[in-house]
Structure 1
């Protein structure tokens, strides 16, 4: 799992996962979850496009 975590201490993802959640209200936590779920979906779409692009390129060069 550590292989997927950012290597730099000032990386935004690293800062996000280390943020203290205790001071946040329930509404703020729900908003955070919604934002993170939207970001996960955005990342998944980017991955899908990259995989599709790679497969298309590989198919082109196999011909």
Structure 2
């Protein structure tokens, strides 16, 4: 099999099977997902700020 054809495992998928994971693996997933949640919250906040700035410029 060619190395390009080997699919690499993804970091996490919502709904993926977790029964075979160790406590350490589950804790690592929690850290990964917590970091992702914070990144998404930051993006939402930035978009709100951009929207507020645009609304204040174009307010009539």
Instruction: Give the TM-score of the pair, scaled to structure 1.
Output: 0.73
In structure 2, distance between residues paired with 1:39 and 1:18: 16
- How many residue pairs match? The answer is 50
| Structure 1 portions without partners, runs of 5+ | 1-11
The root-mean-square deviation of aligned C-alpha atoms, in Å, is 1.7
Q: Which has the larger radius of gyration?
A: 2
In structure 2, distance between residues paired with 1:18 and 1:34: 17
Question: Which is richer in helix?
Answer: 1
Paired residue for 2:3? none
Alignment pair present for 1:30 and 2:13 = no
In structure 2, distance between residues paired with 1:21 and 1:27: 12
| Aligned-pair CA distance for 1:18 | 1.9
Instruction: Give the TM-score of the pair, scaled to structure 2.
Output: 0.76
